[in-house]
Structure 1
């Protein structure tokens, strides 16, 4: 035989496969949870037997006996009957206090808005004037008590016109002091009418 050394061959046991029990239980648990969720959703969404369903209503069945049902006999009227036309009810006249509560926010926003217009220029001032004009339209469209209705309409129209003057002064870069002061005065008249 030869003098060469033969390598020693040793057989070692194979490493055991890792167990996947944890992974399997996780998958089983997730599947069960999903089934429970689907069951709960279906429980709440499907109609139950105790609710009235459109197809489950009882219908009268014909009977073999004849019943006497009174029928309306035709009448000889010369005029066809038409239902009376009813006009919508007249709006209720609000009290000064209720009307004040309705317009108070627009009036106080008007004072703040005029302050903003006075302290800003350009596009910022124009956007503030636009908001003031929208509020002025709301003020003019509000239903005032009949005791101040004419005065309110006149004062609201004056305030709206003064805001147009403010817009013109802001658009044509000029001094807005006079137009803002006139708008403030018109706003003060409106506020005084409702006791603010």
Structure 2
């Protein structure tokens, strides 16, 4: 009896498809990833790149009013600096000179003695003169009387001194008028007023 012919098994491998398309796909994806990384680095990570403003990324708060009015967290209002007061001009204190000290009678007598002695001599010259010669001497005596009035007498004799000096000046003015008009000259009244001045200071 003939034995059945056993079937013969043959391994058949499928034809390998070319892998070239897959390689190009991988290369393209890698190139795209590198390009994206370069762009990100250039925009955000390179030195000197502008940083994103955190204020622009803040989300609006839930309680914000729909009217769009600025919230309390807006830029604070600048408070103007208080005006600087200009310094007031300094006033220079006005110093008053001290009051003159009250001289003693002896010291005052030493001040006036020379003029009072010259007055005696001047009246003697006027009694013996006339016209222009007499008026020039009288003008000298009147000038000396003005200098006596500028002195400060002691308070103890001030009132008497001022009265006597005023009388003496009036007598000299009358004597000057008489001499300039050509009238007779009498020095008796002037000598009497001068004598009162000398007695007040003890001469």
- The separation in 1 between residues aligned to 2:179 and 2:89, in whole angstroms, is 65
- The separation in 2 between residues aligned to 1:156 and 1:181, in whole angstroms, is 16
Aligned-residue RMSD, C-alpha: 1.9
**How many Å apart are 1:159 and its aligned residue?**
0.4
Tell me the residue number matched to 1:159: 168
Tell me the residue number matched to 2:101: 92
- The separation in 1 between residues aligned to 2:159 and 2:140, in whole angstroms, is 25
* Larger helix fraction of residues: 1
Tell me the residue number matched to 2:197: 190
Q: How does 1:52-71 map to 2 (within 5 A)?
A: none
Tell me the residue number matched to 2:128: 119
Tell me the residue number matched to 1:134: 143
* Partner residue of 2:117 out of 108, 125, 128: 108
Structure 1 stretches lacking a partner, 5+ long:
1-75
Task: Describe the SS at the equivalent of 1:143.
Answer: coil
Greater Rg, structure 1 or structure 2?
A: 2
Report the CA distance shift for 1:89/1:123 in structure 2 as closer, same or farther (over 3 A): same
Q: How does 1:37-76 map to 2 (within 5 A)?
A: none
Tell me the residue number matched to 2:177: 168
- The separation in 2 between residues aligned to 1:124 and 1:168, in whole angstroms, is 14
**How many Å apart are 1:123 and its aligned residue?**
0.9
**How many Å apart are 1:79 and its aligned residue?**
8.0
Per-residue CA deviations over 1:63-118 (Å, capped at 9, x if unaligned) read xxxxxxxxxxxxx9x98765543211111111111110100011000000000000
TM-score normalised over the length of structure 2: 0.54
- The separation in 2 between residues aligned to 1:161 and 1:105, in whole angstroms, is 21
Q: Which contiguous aligned blocks of 4+ residues in structure 1 show a shift greater than 2 angstroms? A: 78-86
